[in-house]
Chain A
Amino acid sequence: MAASPLVKTTPVTNDIAVEIVGMHKWYGEFHVLRDVNLTVRRGEKIVICGPSGSGKSTMIRCINRLEEHQQGTVVVDGVPLTNDLKRIDEIRRDVGMVFQHFNLFPHLTVLENCTLAPIWVRKMPQKQAEEIAMHYLTRVKIPDQALKYPGQLSGGQQQRVAIARSLCMSPKIMMFDEPTSALDPEMVKEVLDTMVQLAQDGMTMLCVTHEMGFARQVADRVVFMDRGEIVEINTPEEFFKNPQHERTKLFLSQILH
């Protein structure tokens, strides 16, 4: 790693956060993930892109076991993923996830959305949980909405609440599953700004996104997936300037022009 020319704002360490080796997944007969190998180091920011249906979301959903893989190994934070429910819960505590459609709990206020998991999973006193929630809500710049319900907020605000909700669990890794694709164009920036800030603070991040500007700005590596396999991995500079694989070139020509 010493040779890496691309250490960004924070150093990438040698600790391994996520290690995926030879992972395969099938939906019935359909081979959705083929021989996926990816190692994510602590502090590293990875952007995953590719055409729709290429298996990007499925891959990151395997990391916190929202989907089950059938072959290969996935080790998260030193814990290999098996069917053991206890371990899966442990891993999920430390891996935050932000969804395309926010998935905020509509029957709870913004503040309650943020304190729910710290109170019930981390067994935190309510006051402390609320303080932490307000801290992160301030960080995503919506502390004044704390007592409203998700349905009263704009899409961009909802997505920022979702980010704050994940951060309240003090995760070691954050995963983003197309966080801006369900947003109106004018709201994309506020969410991306929040994510950039998070990157600058040194969070380990895996982002499935088509925001290439974001990839250029913060990614340590860009992973390109197509038809269920990883086709190309490279630093953003090289990836955008010198794509190697035909499929990468085709994809980039379609989205950049």
Chain B
Amino acid sequence: MSDQAIGSRIAYVRREAGPTRPAPIMTRGVFAWVRENLFSTPMSGVLTIGSLLFVLWVAPDTFRYLISDAVWQAPDGVACRAPGAGACWAFVAAKFEYFMYGSYPRGETWRVDVTLVLGLALILWLLIPRLPRKGMAAFAFFVVYPVVAFFLLRGLEGVLPIVETNLWGGVFVSLLVAAVGIVASLPLGVLLALGRRSQLPFVKFFCVVFIEFVRGVPLITVLFMANTMLPLFVPQEWTPDRLLRPLIGVSLFAAAYMAEVVRAGLQAMPKGQFEGAMALGLPYWKMMRLIILPQALTTVIPGIVNSFIALFKDTTLVAIVGIFDFLRTVETARLDPVWAGPTISTTGYVFAAIFYWVFCFAMSRYSQMLERKLAAGRRR
């Protein structure tokens, strides 16, 4: 019986189960992949070959510059100035301590290391979802740690020698600015977000004006303001510390952006959650602390991490008010006459790029992972 006959018959019953055949070669495995992804149309074929040519053109030169022709060991910049020499990694090695600690006294750098390791441990505790007792971790990180870090880094009369902030610099200051920004902006941002949704008109007005003002101006102008105007606004004998001023500026700036992220989370909360909490007789602050904020903050963790990434990249701007953050130390080091040469700038920037990229990329991957997890949770 021909196949056509089956299809046109009024009545048909399948007597044996249909055969399960392996997919034809073109619909599976490597072949299907190549056809679908590289040569699906003539245009796609042209693009594939063009892109391959581009990669083959760029990749070998990059490899030669960064790896095979690079100068890995040298006492000074002479070898790096040789024609045809690639990246000068010896320069990075020689300046490594400076990049890490700035002018922090060399004998005291263990204090910085201890502070960093402590901070890292606490952050991992906070970030790894499986570890228990997040509340305690948060308390340790947001309240105890800042105090400990302050005395470790600056010193305590009679116990640890004082190190003035104008000696601080390098990666350590970049991380410090970022950490202070993060620690200060989160609670401030939450308060501002709550204030913006408050029913008290003056509170709301103040929060709206503050948030919109800060978000409307560039960070540089905020830093200028903190640096030049803050000393004018306080009694002369108080003159705020040189490093403290940009820290205040960065924190306020980050708080306004954080407030908008948190507000999005509050807005996404179903009304039923507020009503449920009120029906239980919870007063405002308890309702916020126990019911609303834990949920609202969880849903916007990806947004919070994204604003941390932005904050981390923005820490480079504190250089404008004379703070020696990591990028500024690179800028200073590349002008050192011992090393100066045609490849030094690029080497320094590539090194800085790797540092910033690893941090930001890791954070963005983390936020994407959380996003997927949250989405999966919501589906359930």
Contact = CB atoms under 8 A, between A and B. Distances in A.
B43 interface: no
A230 B14 contact: yes
Interface string B333-361: 00000000000000000000000000000
Interface in B1-37: 3-4, 6-14, 17-24, 26-28, 32
A161 B250 CA distance: 55
B18 A228 contact: yes
Contacts of A232: 12-14
Interface string A1-40: 0011010000000001001111010101101001101110
Contact of A21 (B4, B11, B18, B24): B4
Contact of B19 (A26, A34, A244): A34
A28 B23 contact: yes
Contacts of B19: 34-35
B18 A19 contact: no
Given A19-B4, A34-B18, A37-B7, A231 B23 contact: no
Contacts of A22: 3
B1 to A, nearest CB: 10
A26 B10 contact: no
Interface in B259-276: none
The SS class assigned to the B binding surface is: loop
A183 interface: no
Interface in A220-253: 221, 228-235, 238, 244-245
B27 to A, nearest CB: 5
Contact of B13 (A20, A228, A231): A231
A234 B14 contact: no
A39 B7 CA distance: 5
Given A234-B11, A235-B11, A31 B6 contact: no
Nearest to B23: A26
Contacts of B8: 16, 39, 41
B17 A229 contact: yes
A160 B96 CA distance: 71
Contacts of A24: 21
Contacts of A231: 13-14
Nearest to A72: B3
Contacts of B22: 29
Contact of B7 (A4, A21, A31, A70): A21
A71 interface: yes
B13 A244 contact: yes
A146 to B, nearest CB: 35
A29 B18 contact: no
A231 B24 CA distance: 23
Given A34-B19, A37-B6, 7 more contacts: A3-B10, A24-B21, A31-B21, A34-B20, A233-B9, A233-B13, A234-B13
8 closest pairs, A vs B, by CB? Answer: A26-B23, A39-B8, A39-B7, A229-B18, A34-B18, A37-B7, A233-B12, A244-B13
Interface of B: 3-4, 6-14, 17-24, 26-28, 32
20 contacts: A3-B10, A4-B10, A6-B10, A16-B8, A21-B3, A24-B21, A26-B23, A31-B20, A34-B18, A35-B18, A35-B19, A37-B3, A37-B4, A37-B6, A38-B7, A39-B7, A70-B27, A230-B12, A233-B10, A233-B11
